[in-house]
Amino acid sequence: MKNKPKILISACLLGENCKYNGGNNADAISADTLDKLDQIYELVAVCPEYLGGLTTPREPAEICSNGRVMTKFSGRDVTREFLSGAQICADIARKNDCKIAVLKERSPSCGSGEIYDGSFTGRIVSGDGLTTSALKKLGVRVVGESALLELNLEKEAQNGQVDKH
Ligand code: SF4
């Protein structure tokens, strides 16, 4: 009997109210896609910012040009919390042998390929969130929720390592 391979997923995409404003991002991923993901994989939900010790709701934060993560209103430097969350997520991915992570696009933790530029004006720049960077260093393939539609999920699962019992 085969166990389903595990993938890491942003908890807010599953409807957890861990987003900075106390809401979630469940509307960013269709119920059908989520259903299919759930059939093929065991979903390991993480919220790096929560795991790093930040409260919900919390001030929005972005990665600035100097690499520090700063909050929008009080200008607090929350880099330490973001790095801590990233490290915890990397440890969870390693322990669960996750080869893929489906993470919320453009977040300063979860974004992959593009993130907000630190000006809090909605401008986007190339780059990864801190958790995405930590996962990529481990060799985890990170995809945003919109890229899921382009993935052949069954094929990806076959290519991943599946525990046999
Ligand atoms: Fe979602 Fe990631 Fe932000 Fe947590 S840190 S709310 S999982 S995007």
pLDDT for position 10: 98
Residue 22 CA, ligand 1 centroid: distance in Å: 11
Residue 133 CA, ligand 1 centroid: distance in Å: 14
Tokens 């409260």 belong to which residue? 55
Atom of ligand 1 lying closest to residue 48 CA: 5
HSE of 126, CA atoms in CB hemisphere, 13 A: 0
Per-residue pLDDT tens, the chain, 165 aa: give them: 578 999 999 999 999 999 999 999 999 999 999 999 999 999 999 999 999 999 999 999 999 999 999 999 999 999 999 999 999 999 999 999 999 999 999 999 999 999 999 999 999 999 999 999 999 999 999 999 998 877 777 777 777 544 433
pLDDT for position 62: 98
CA distances to 32, 61, 156 from 107, in Å: 23, 9, 24
Q: Is the link from the previous residue into 57 a cis peptide, with omega within 30 of 0?
A: yes
What is the biggest distance separating any 2 CA atoms in the chain, rounded to whole angstroms? 53
Atom of ligand 1 lying closest to residue 85 CA: 5
In the chain, what are the domains?
6-60+82-113+128-158 (3.40.50)
Question: What residue owns the CA closest to ligand 1's atom 6?
Answer: 19
For a substitution probing ligand 1, which of 8, 16, 19 has the most ligand atoms within 8 Å of its CB? 19
